[in-house]
């Protein structure tokens, strides 16, 4: 019996956000928006969901006079991503 895929990560946009953050220390909201092609509103909602689940940390600050939001993956998020990829492998290559 295959394990169910984590529903929080099994969504196109949220998976893209976590995949970006898994290889870096932190990424800017503007960068994530550009890479995913999502709208600012939708991206905010999905980032909020990931933050509430403890998968990412969000820092809101300023760079000069411009507001800046940076996101970074937490240890919980990294573990969830790793488990997700492991389960995904079982789906694609069933034993």
Q: What residues make contact with other proteins under the rule CB under 8 A?
A: 5, 10-16, 19-20, 22-28, 30-31, 35-38, 42, 45-46, 63, 68, 85, 88, 91-92
User: CB-side exposure of 40: number of CA atoms within 13 Å?
Assistant: 4
Per-residue tokens: 36: 């995913």
**Contact (Cβ atoms closer than 8 angstroms) between residue 3 and residue 90:** yes
Q: Smallest gap, in angstroms, from Cβ of residue 29 to other proteins?
A: 9
Q: Smallest gap, in angstroms, from Cβ of residue 41 to other proteins?
A: 11
Q: Among residues 35 and 54, whose Cβ is nearest to other proteins? A: 35
CA–CA distance, 93 with 33 (Å, rounded to integer): 32
Q: Smallest gap, in angstroms, from Cβ of residue 54 to other proteins?
A: 19
């Amino acid at each position: 019996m295959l394990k169910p895929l984590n529903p929080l990560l099994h969504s196109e946009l949220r998976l893209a956000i976590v995949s970006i953050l898994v290889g870096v220390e932190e990424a800017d909201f503007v960068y994530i928006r550009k890479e995913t092609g999502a709208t600012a509103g939708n991206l905010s909602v999905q980032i909020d969901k990931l933050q509430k689940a403890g998968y990412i940390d969000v820092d809101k600050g300023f760079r000069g006079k411009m507001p800046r939001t940076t996101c970074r993956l937490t240890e919980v998020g990294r573990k969830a991503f790793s488990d997700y990829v492991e389960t995904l492998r079982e789906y694609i290559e069933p034993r």
